[in-house]
Structure 1
Amino acid sequence: MENQEPSPEITPKALPLVEAIRAASKGGALVTQRTLEKEFPDLNVHALITESGVKDLKKMEGSSDVYYFSDLSMTEAYAVFMYRINEKDPVRLIAETVRDDSRIYPRPTPVATFREPPFSLSARDVEEALGRMTLRPDLEDIKRSSASNGALYLYSSQFLSEAQGDALTEWFEVGVRENP
């Protein structure tokens, strides 16, 4: 993603909103429309941001709120992670992250990843999410693979075959360490 220069024509009314979004992004956080409306109750947040024409501000529609970030200091990929975390749906978070990893890189995803930042899910949340995933037909493409050391990985069968998922799991978990 190419970073743009800040727009030189930000209206005085929109400036505090733009600055708040940019500051949050610099700190690694998204800003919700609800938060901005509480912080700036006299402003029509959505309209001012939309009409500002500031190119670095990006919007993501969530299930219960709208999220904003600035791509001057936050990548879209990281913003997507933060969006998924903020939506508080561990099943969707895990499934979409696994699908992205399988499609983009292509590689399986260590389940342990979801216990680490930026996800920071508890072991219980991860286990419960994995259990619920097996009950959902729309997630039947999410498959499990175990390395010879017992580490659990997930991959999407939409993008990786079982043989690829298993081989890559073993390679990333064991092979890389044994073949420096």
Structure 2
Amino acid sequence: MSQPKRTWIYPKMIKGKLYKYRALLSYLLLALLFTAPFLKMNGEQMILLNVLERKFVFFGVVFWPQDFYLFVLGLLTFIVFIVLFTVVFGRAFCGWICPQTIFLEMVFRRIENWIEGDRIQQQKLDNGPLTGDKIIKKFFKHAVFLAISFLIANVFLAYLIGSDSLLTIISAPVQQHFSGFISIGIFSFIFYLVFSRMR
């Protein structure tokens, strides 16, 4: 019995006034995501979700286990807001501020178009014979995807363990923080798979 073959979708790059606004909002959200763990407020990291030390920081305000009811109340309020917003304005959320969409459309798909060309050129490249040009383009694309996934993994780890701890892990020898390097590797691989293969 033959295995079904995956049918790849080659989306066309969108242009227009609303797309420019969407791109601007996406870049602002990406800038916030990448800078928030490195910004300090009241001597604390702006946003920290350190489960291991049971320390949560939001906009410089520290929440400890004894403040858990406040944290849960705030988190539930945020989740209810997201759910209601998605129910009422689902397309706006999924297209404009969903992290999966922002990373896929504004980062990874743009890189793919930059390296492999538009949708027609990508189809020709994928369906064409294995040439040196194809190998170089595919290798370069996946190398860039891995590098960006590594960067994203480091930023997400900064949210979980703190930016100071992350910088210590990065600058210290691997033997001293082996579990930290394993975590970064696992996160990097997951992000790479999600954005390069499981679209």
Per the normalisation by structure 2, the TM-score is 0.23
Structure number having the greater strand percentage: 1
Per the normalisation by structure 1, the TM-score is 0.25
* Bigger RCO of structures 1 and 2 (CA < 8 A, at least 6 apart): 2
